[in-house]
């Protein structure tokens, strides 16, 4: 079945679509009530609230799809504030001509990823617009922040050490390859990092700042943290994990892994004395086996890369187009 405009008019056809595609995969006590808003118990602790829209093309790619991405992106933003992800909302904008089978696979993938991430999808919305079979998804996420956690982009301190939870650039490389029609064995790294973040707190690490490395890549994230905290960051190129496949693609196309987006990698700052413990916690968590200590924080400003041959390069945030629609 192809999606038509009538599926978005809010009447009987919309109800049928919701029953057939969404209710089946997202079934839970809250959502099944089909009210105007989900009613949830009073949460423990402070709230974290975030939103992200997903416009990636192609909708399905090696290692993931827009549905898995739409859960991971929002869940990981909550984790980066020290929150335990609890609830998601999902807003679907369908372009007419979308195959309902494609939508069904995406929704199945979202449900599976939500379960892995430990969140419940409690509210949704569906609209249909003119177009060519595309699909846009917005998710908003609510998490709760336990007492004693104070994670912020502004909390870098001189003496902190910096950890990257795995290899750079896979997601970006996969989307780029798919668009260019290149055959590669690369797979997107998109993954929910709930367990990785919780492993850090369970190990008693006082995480100062944490960001997931997405659009703009590590260079952009590092610049944002340095600016927000009024510190400088030194990254060691030789320590940055990059896979052979991404390295090869970057060589051919003249790309820099430092401005390529991931969707399942954390970049975090911890007190120097806790760095080895933090690294062990990240490595023991799912998706963290290639984690590495990649740099340190000092007084000053800006981000400097110590290159593999011993030179020094000042890093800037991504400027210009990059690759649009990677998430």
Q: Which of residues 233-272 bind a copy of itself (CB under 8 A)?
A: 259, 261
Tell me the number of residues near a copy of itself by CB under 8 A.
83
- Select from 145, 133, 113, 165 the least CA-distant residue to 294: 165
Q: How far is CA 298 from CA 183, 230, 234, 271, in A?
A: 42, 10, 8, 12
Q: Residue from 212, 237, 263, 274 that binds a copy of itself (CB under 8 A)?
A: 212
Subset of residues 279 to 298 that bind a copy of itself, contact rule: CB under 8 A: none
Stretch that binds a copy of itself, among 71-79, 175-183, 272-280, 288-296 (CB under 8 A): 71-79
Structure tokens at 278: 């933090």
Rounded to an integer, what distance in angstroms lies between the CA atom of residue 156 and that of residue 158?
A: 7
Check residue 122 for interaction with a copy of itself (CB under 8 A): yes
Sheet holding 292-298, edge to edge: 209-212, 266-270, 161-164, 292-298, 232-236, 302-306, 312-315
Please report how close the Cβ of residue 183 comes to a copy of itself at its closest, in angstroms: 25
Check residue 173 for interaction with a copy of itself (CB under 8 A): no
Check residue 23 for interaction with a copy of itself (CB under 8 A): no
Rounded to an integer, what distance in angstroms lies between the CA atom of residue 197 and that of residue 123?
A: 25
Q: Residue from 19, 35, 244, 289 that binds a copy of itself (CB under 8 A)?
A: 35
Structure tokens at 299: 């007084």
How would you label 9-31 residue by residue, b for 16+ Cβ within 10 Å and e otherwise?
Answer: eeeeebeebbeebbbebbeeebb
Q: Residue from 3, 81, 119, 292 that binds a copy of itself (CB under 8 A)?
A: 81
Q: Which of residues 140 and 239 has its CB atom nearest to a copy of itself in the complex?
A: 140
Check residue 5 for interaction with a copy of itself (CB under 8 A): yes
Please report how close the Cβ of residue 38 comes to a copy of itself at its closest, in angstroms: 5
Subset of residues 87 to 116 that bind a copy of itself, contact rule: CB under 8 A: 87, 89-93
Tell me the Ramachandran region of residue 287: left when phi exceeds 0, alpha when psi lies from -120 to 50, beta otherwise: left
Q: Which of residues 94 and 199 has its CB atom nearest to a copy of itself in the complex?
A: 94
Check residue 52 for interaction with a copy of itself (CB under 8 A): yes
């Amino acid at each position: 079945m192809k999606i038509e405009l009538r599926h978005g008019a809010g009447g009987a056809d919309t109800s049928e679509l919701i029953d057939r595609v969404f209710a089946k995969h997202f079934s839970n006590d809250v959502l099944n009530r089909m009210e105007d808003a989900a009613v949830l118990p009073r949460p423990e602790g402070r709230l974290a609230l975030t939103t992200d829209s997903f416009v990636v093309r192609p909708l399905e790619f090696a290692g993931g799809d827009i549905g898995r991405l739409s859960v991971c992106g929002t869940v990981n933003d909550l984790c980066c504030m020290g929150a335990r992800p609890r609830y998601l909302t999902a807003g679907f904008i369908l372009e007419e001509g979308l195959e309902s089978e494609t939508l069904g696979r995406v929704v199945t993938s979202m449900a599976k990823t939500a379960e892995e991430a430990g969140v419940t999808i409690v509210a949704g919305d569906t609209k249909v617009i003119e177009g060519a079979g595309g699909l846009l998804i917005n998710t908003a996420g609510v998490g709760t922040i336990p007492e004693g956690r104070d994670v912020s982009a502004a909390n870098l301190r001189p003496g902190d050490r910096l950890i990257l939870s795995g290899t750079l650039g896979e997601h970006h490389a996969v989307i780029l390859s798919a668009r260019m029609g290149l055959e590669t064995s690369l797979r997107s790294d998109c993954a929910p990092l709930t367990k990785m973040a919780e492993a850090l707190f369970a190990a008693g690490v006082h995480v100062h700042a944490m960001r997931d490395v997405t659009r703009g890549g590590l260079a952009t994230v590092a610049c944002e943290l340095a600016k927000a905290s009024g510190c400088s960051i030194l990254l060691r190129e030789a320590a940055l994990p990059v896979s052979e496949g991404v390295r090869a693609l970057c060589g051919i196309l003249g790309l820099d892994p430092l401005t390529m987006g991931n969707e399942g990698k954390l970049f975090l700052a911890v007190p120097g004395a806790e760095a080895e413990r933090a690294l062990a916690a990240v490595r023991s968590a799912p998706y963290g086996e290639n984690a590495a200590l990649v740099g340190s924080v000092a007084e000053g400003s800006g981000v400097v890369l110590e290159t593999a041959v011993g030179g020094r390069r000042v890093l800037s945030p991504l400027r210009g187009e990059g690759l649009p629609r990677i998430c």
